[in-house]
């Protein structure tokens, strides 16, 4: 079989005109389900079934390990869409729902992913790579509410004690299949979990905002916690600089609820 049938790679620099859905009713949010589920097949450089494919440069990409029900499509070209909504219903550019129905499987052994979007840069390619880019625009004359990205978890089971994370920022140096292979170098120079930036001449009016309905007590936490460092070992926390200021001064945790300041 020719190499072109053994590998395909899609490098996605996406501009999705994200809908301003911040005021959407819970019913409509549930109707959305997990958006963009089918894009995983179109935008991941991999062969279904968990095998690997290699292109001419020798790059190997671990397969999706995807289920392939009847009607599954594999593509080797981008999907580009554009349309104008004249009102009535919700205007979707891409939408999809995937549901797990696995009552006979052991708990936490099955996985559903609404959207998997991967972009790769190969050896010798020193460029700019976005896994996904979303933008919500209000053109001149439009008084619209804008939300560039909404990440929501919906838990309808009060007895569910497991984690519910709306936005999970992770840093990796290897595929998940090699999770236990610790690197000799962390390869994390200039790695940033969250960055706030604007164009020159403008900027956000407020950096981080907690709305009236944001934090709430639970059965296990009678008082909600704004910033939780309890999972960090005390010894590791002692090696951190909590805040670094432009003048060279930094805040550090000195133990027993005390904060110290050092300046260089």
Question: What is the per-residue pLDDT for 137?
Answer: 98
Q: pTM above the 0.95 mark?
A: no
**106-126 mean pLDDT:** 94
Question: What is the per-residue pLDDT for 71?
Answer: 87
Does residue 148 have a pLDDT over 90?
Answer: yes
Question: What is the per-residue pLDDT for 83?
Answer: 94
pLDDT in tens, 160-195: 999 999 999 999 999 888 999 999 999 999 999 999
CB contact burial 30-57 (16+ within 10 A = b; e otherwise): eebeebbbbbbbbbbbbbeeeeebebee
Q: Higher confidence at residue 51 or residue 88?
A: 88
Nearby residues of 3 by Cβ (< 8 Å), 6 or more positions away: 54, 55, 56
Does residue 63 have a pLDDT over 90?
Answer: no
């Amino acid at each position: 079989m020719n190499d072109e049938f053994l590998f395909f790679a899609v490098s996605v620099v996406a501009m999705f005109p994200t809908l301003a859905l911040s005021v959407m009713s819970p019913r409509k949010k549930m109707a959305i389900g997990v958006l963009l589920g089918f894009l995983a097949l179109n935008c991941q450089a991999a062969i279904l079934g968990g095998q690997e494919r290699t292109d001419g440069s020798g790059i190997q990409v671990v397969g999706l390990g995807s289920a392939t029900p009847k009607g599954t499509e594999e593509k080797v070209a981008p999907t580009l869409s554009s349309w104008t909504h004249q009102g009535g219903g919700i205007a979707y550019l891409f939408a999809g729902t995937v549901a797990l129905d696995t009552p006979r499987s052991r708990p936490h052994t099955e996985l559903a992913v609404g959207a998997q979007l991967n972009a790769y840069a190969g050896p010798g390619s020193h460029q700019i790579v976005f896994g996904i880019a979303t933008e919500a625009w209000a053109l001149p004359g439009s008084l619209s509410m804008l939300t560039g990205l909404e990440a929501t978890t919906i838990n309808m089971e009060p007895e569910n004690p497991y984690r519910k994370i709306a936005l999970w920022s992770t840093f990796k140096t290897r595929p998940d299949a090699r999770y236990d292979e610790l690197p000799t170098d962390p390869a994390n120079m200039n790695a940033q979990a969250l960055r706030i930036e604007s164009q020159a001449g403008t900027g956000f009016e407020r950096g981080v905002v907690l709305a009236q309905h944001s934090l709430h007590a639970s059965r296990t936490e009678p008082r909600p916690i704004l910033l939780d460092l309890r999972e960090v070992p005390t010894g590791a926390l002692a090696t951190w600089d909590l805040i670094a200021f432009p003048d060279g001064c930094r805040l550090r945790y000195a133990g027993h609820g005390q904060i110290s300041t050092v300046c260089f």
